[in-house]
Amino acid sequence: MANTYVNAKVDLTSTSATTLYTCAAATTAIIKSILVSEDSGNADTITVTITNGSSVFSLFHVKAVGASGTVELLTAPLVVEATEIVKVTAATANRLHVTASILEVT
């Protein structure tokens, strides 16, 4: 079993659901942190989902992020199983950056 630390980053330039992280086949991922930073000086909101096949599950629905602030979304690690996808959606384009710290176990 191999452990690899990685991070995933995305600049939310649209209001479409954007893939932050896709867990590879034969891998389990432990997301230790999801940081959201607002860089335009305007408060905004973010929605975070996890997709398993055709099923979509809400992790954070319209979570507030203060103007020029940073929010840590997780209070405990999040386990993501093989082929699951974590997606993030901004209420307004060009305001939010998202970074996740991840441990991949293969």
Query: Tokens 């649209």 — which residue?
Result: 14
pTM for the predicted model, two decimal places: 0.96
pLDDT tens digits for range 7-31: 999 999 999 999 999 999 999 999 9
Any idea which architecture 3-105 has in CATH? Sandwich (2.60)
Q: Are 66 and 73 contacting, i.e. CB atoms less than 8 angstroms apart?
A: no
pLDDT tens digits for range 73-89: 999 999 999 999 999 99
- Which of these, 73, 104, 91, 76, lies nearest to 17 by C-alpha position? 91
Query: In what side-by-side order are the strands of the sheet with 44-52?
Result: 18-22, 85-90, 44-52, 55-65
- Pinpoint the alpha helices (H) of 1-106: none
